[in-house]
Amino acid sequence: MINELNLILLGPPGAGKGTQAARLRDDLGLPYLATGDLLRQHRARATPLGVEAAAYMASGRLVPDELVIALLLAEIEERGERGFLLDGFPRTPGQAEALDAALREASRALSAVVLVDVPDGVLLERIVGRRQCAGGHVYHVSFDPPASAGVCDVDGMPLFQRDDDRAEVVRERLRVYHEATAPLVGYYEARGLLRRVDGLRPAGEVYASLREALALPEPAL
The one-letter code for the residue type at 156 is: G
CA quadruple 104, 63, 171, 32: dihedral sign: positive
Handedness of CA 186, 191, 193, 196 (dihedral sign): positive
**127 contacts ligand AP5 (rule: CB under 6 A):** yes
Q: Which stretch binds ligand AP5 (CB under 6 A): 44-52, 57-65, 96-104, 151-159?
A: 57-65
Indicate if 17 belongs to the active site: yes
Query: Which among 23-31, 86-94, 99-107, 208-216 is the span making contact with ligand AP5, rule CB under 6 A?
Result: 86-94
Q: At what angle do helices 35-45 and 65-79 cross, to 10 degrees?
A: 100
Q: Which residue is nearest to ligand AP5 (CB)?
A: 36
Options 25-33, 59-67, 74-82, 97-105: segment touching ligand AP5 (CB under 6 A): 59-67
- For ligand AP5, the binding residue among 7, 36, 113, 114 (CB under 6 A) is 36
Catalytic residue among 40, 43, 108, 130: 130
Task: Please give the residues from 141 up to 160 whose contact with ligand AP5 meets the rule CB under 6 A.
Answer: 143-144
What's the closest the beta carbon of residue 44 comes to ligand AP5, in angstroms? 13
∠ CA(121), CA(139), CA(64), 5° rounding? Answer: 65
Q: Is 187 in the site for ligand AP5 (CB under 6 A)?
A: no
Annotate each residue in 190-209 with x if it binds ligand AP5 (CB under 6 A) or - if it does not, as one string.
---------x--xx--x---
91 is catalytic: yes
Give the C-alpha separation, 130 to 106, whole Å.
Answer: 38
Number of residues that bind ligand AP5 (CB under 6 A): 37
Q: For ligand AP5, which stretch binds (CB under 6 A), given 24-32, 99-107, 127-135, 150-158?
A: 127-135
Partner residues linked to 33 by β-bridges? 86
**Catalytic residue positions, numbered:** 17, 91, 130, 162, 173
Q: Which residues bind ligand AP5 (CB under 6 A)?
A: 11, 13-19, 35-36, 39, 56-57, 60-63, 68, 88-89, 91, 95, 126-127, 129-130, 138-140, 143-144, 164, 173, 199, 202-203, 206
